[in-house]
Amino acid sequence: MTHCPECEAEITVQDLMIGEIIYCPDCSAELEVLRLEPPSVVLAPQVEEDWGE
């Protein structure tokens, strides 16, 4: 378990992958899974101009 960097809510990364985007259940912040062991999430980067298909 880790904590949301925005609101400190508890975040579990079970069954997730590094690089996956999740939403904080408390504050809805977009979070990127940085590490699984030990678990770590960061605020996901904002959409950049060159992102797309």
In the complex, the residues that contact other proteins under the rule CB under 8 A are 17-21, 32, 44, 48-53
Provide the minimum distance between the beta carbon of 26 and other proteins in the complex, in angstroms, as a whole number: 22
How many residues comprise the chain? 53
**Alpha-carbon distances, residue 46 vs 3, 31, 36, 50 (angstroms):** 20, 11, 22, 12
Provide the minimum distance between the beta carbon of 14 and other proteins in the complex, in angstroms, as a whole number: 15
Provide the minimum distance between the beta carbon of 50 and other proteins in the complex, in angstroms, as a whole number: 4
Complex with other proteins: residue 37 or 53, whichever CB lies closer: 53
The span from the CA of 36 to the CA of 49, in Å, is 29
